[in-house]
Amino acid sequence: MDFHQNLNFIIEMLGTIAFAMSGSFAAMQKKFDPFGVVIIAFITSVGGGTVRDLLLNIHIFWMHDLTTCSIIFTTSIFSMIFKSLEKNFQVTLFIFDSFGLGLFTIIGLQKGLNADLHPIICVVLGTITGCFGGILRDVLLHKVPLIFRKEIYATACIIGGTSFLLLSKYTDLSNAVTKILTILLIVIIRTLAVKYHWEMPKFYIDKENSKLK
């Protein structure tokens, strides 16, 4: 493998670990048994990538390489062992989910670029790859997915993906540096959004006045 292939592989593995940890801790919060924890970890890790590959009409990445499945299983087991030392599930879940979001956004974006798709579609693919595993996780855990709540979530992917394309086109930064900066930007946006309560506008129906507010 050349440098770029190695970097893409590392990003994909780190993203898989991050989302597997995120899914595992979310399942343990709901007091799932070990089998349930592994299943939720698996779905969180491969959900976005599976939808992306189906849209691109290419082989689904995890079905042709047991490395991904092995990493998810190992990470899930580690998470269950680590659980006894972990005091704050919510903080841990947030950290891993944020890094998984950034890492997987880059993976999806790169897949779109490799397929010579329009930049906007590439950003959409990056957002799907980053967000869809979390959507499936939350639905299975009977929670309203983060992407549909007021938190900055998909917006961070869109800003990060757009920044990656702009940095790639208008700067002399290497591809590796651009990817790392984009991942960090997405994580920072998520962190600041939660810390300072940045929110997207929310809409609801006023039952009394029947107005959209």
Q: Tell me what percent of the residues of the chain surpass a pLDDT of 90.
A: 70
Distance CA 55, CA 59 (A): 11
Residue 213 predicted with pLDDT over 70: no
* Residue-level pLDDT at 189: 95
* Residue-level pLDDT at 2: 72
Q: Which residues contact 193 (CB under 8 A, 6 or more apart)?
A: 151, 152, 156, 199
For 117-121, the CB contacts below 8 A with 24+ separation are 119/165
- Specify the higher pLDDT residue, 85 or 181: 181
What SS3 state is found at 173?
coil
Judge whether 33 and 89 are in contact, CB under 8 Å. Answer: no
- Give the domain ranges of the chain: 3-212
Residue 211 predicted with pLDDT over 60: no
Quick one: pLDDT band at residue 110, thresholds 50, 70, 90? Answer: very high
* Least confident interval from 12-21, 135-144, 200-209: 200-209
Distance CA 193, CA 23 (A): 21
- Tell me the per-residue pLDDT of 124-164, one tens digit each, with 9 for 90 and over: 999 999 999 999 999 999 998 878 876 688 999 999 999 99
In terms of C-beta density within 10 A (0-12 exposed, 13-18 middle, 19 or more buried), how is residue 206 classed?
A: exposed
Across the chain, mean pLDDT equals: 89
* Residue-level pLDDT at 209: 59
* Residue-level pLDDT at 58: 94
* Residue-level pLDDT at 200: 74
- Specify the higher pLDDT residue, 163 or 210: 163
Residue type, 76: S
Residue 19 predicted with pLDDT over 60: yes
* Residue-level pLDDT at 204: 65
- Record the pTM: 0.89
What SS3 state is found at 206?
strand
